[in-house]
Amino acid sequence: MSVRVISSIKEMHEFSNAVKSEKKKIGLVPTMGYLHEGHLSLVRASKKNADVTVVSIFVNPTQFAPSEDFDKYPRDFERDKRLLEKEEVDVIFYPLSDEIYPENFQTYVSVKDVTQILEGVFRPTHFEGVTTIVNILFNSVKPDIAFFGQKDAQQAAVIKQMVNDLKMDIEISVQPIVRESDGLAMSSRNIFLNESERKDALVLYNSLRYAEELIKRGERDKERIISEMKMIINSAVSAKLDYIDVVESNTFSLVDKIEEGKSYYFLIACRIGATRLIDNILLTV
């Protein structure tokens, strides 16, 4: 059966109200399209946990800085639609930019502290764009549960903070990172990598795996681990590191020390040629 595509907010509201009147649970998977197995893993989680699954596809201009790749970001709606049809998704929410951000648009949602570190340092306007669009998507689709990837671990932490602070009655489910067979985290942006960059891109995952190895061997000195990771990153000619850092997994705040019994995200952002990639690993010490 063909998947229903909804573009107008009014139609989205009507659909969601009808689903809710039947006491059915709506799952939302927000995406920017150009779908890969990472996105599809979120779709499958939604199919498992909700009665009706809505996948939104919207390349959100407000989360890109003027210098970033909004115009270049890959788009292929027909391909995405075919993939989602196969997954038996109920609705693709494919809103029009003019309806999301009409000329007189003036309301932005911003989260304070957790947006200021890591990605926030390199992309200072990014998270405000993310939280604003996620709010609009939540208000349009009215999900009971929304699915995000650990691939964007800081984004998931920011969304959880927002949902908690603004008392939104929405469950946030974070799903594990899906990787290529050699370990590269799947990303719509991987298509920009040429052959040699594709090989170089492995340094992100390799350095995260090395951090895991060091932790397993009993290393607890954060700076020493990071400096070993940096050596791996710097072994790739096309790699330029933005950051490697460590946050405690529950609070998502940066740490100086690695302590027994706690869990941490080791996070990397690195440019491979002109393509900026992020990756992370969750380690329990």
If you ran DSSP here, which 8-state letter would residue 274 be given?
Answer: T
SS3 call for 84: helix
**Residue 39: active-site member:** yes
Among 149, 190, 198, 265, binds ligand AMP (CB under 6 A): 149
Give dist(CA 96, CA 25) in Å, integer: 25
- Where are the alpha helices (H) located in the chain, listed in sequence order? 9-21, 37-49, 77-86, 97-100, 119-122, 126-141, 153-165, 195-200, 202-216, 222-234
Whole-number Å distance between alpha carbons of 238 and 131: 32
Site for ligand AMP in 51-110 (CB under 6 A): none
Choices 73-81, 117-125, 143-151, 225-233 (CB under 6 A): range interacting with ligand AMP = 143-151
How far apart CA 83 and CA 134 sit, in angstroms, is 23
Region near ligand AMP per CB under 6 A, out of 88-96, 162-170, 186-194, 227-235: 186-194
Residue selected from 31, 140, 206, 207 as contacting ligand AMP according to rule CB under 6 A: 31
CB-wise, 141 or 258, nearer to ligand AMP? Answer: 141
Which of 36-44, 98-106, 135-143, 253-261 is the region at the interface with ligand AMP (rule: CB under 6 A)?
A: 36-44
Sketch the per residue contact string, 232 through 261, with ligand AMP: x for CB under 6 A, - otherwise.
Answer: ------------------------------
**Complex with ligand AMP: residue 31 or 225, whichever CB lies closer:** 31
Buried b (16+ CB within 10 A) or exposed e, 201-218: bbbbbbbbebbeebbeee
Stretch that binds ligand AMP, among 10-18, 72-80, 146-154, 263-271 (CB under 6 A): 146-154
Distance, in Å, from the CA atom of 247 to the CA atom of 283, rounded to the nearest integer, reads 11
Say if CB 244 and CB 230 are below 8 A apart.
Answer: yes
Phi, psi of 151 (to 5 degrees): -50, -40
* Minimum CB–partner distance for residue 17 and ligand AMP (Å): 25
Closer residue to ligand AMP (CB): 226 or 265:
265
When asked if residue 15 is in the footprint of ligand AMP (CB under 6 A), the reply is no
Q: How far is CA 46 from CA 28, 96, 99, 243, in A?
A: 7, 24, 26, 32
Instruction: Count residues near ligand AMP (CB under 6 A).
Output: 17
* Least distance to ligand AMP, CB of residue 245, Å: 19
Q: Which of 13, 36, 39, 126 is flagged as catalytic?
A: 39
One residue of 91, 137, 158, 186 binding ligand AMP per CB under 6 A: 186
10-25 exposure pattern, b = at least 16 Cβ within 10 A, e = fewer: eebeebbeebeeeeeb
Beta bridge partners of 244: 268
Active site members: 39
Binding site for ligand AMP (CB under 6 A): 31-32, 38-39, 41-42, 148-149, 151-152, 175, 177-178, 185-188
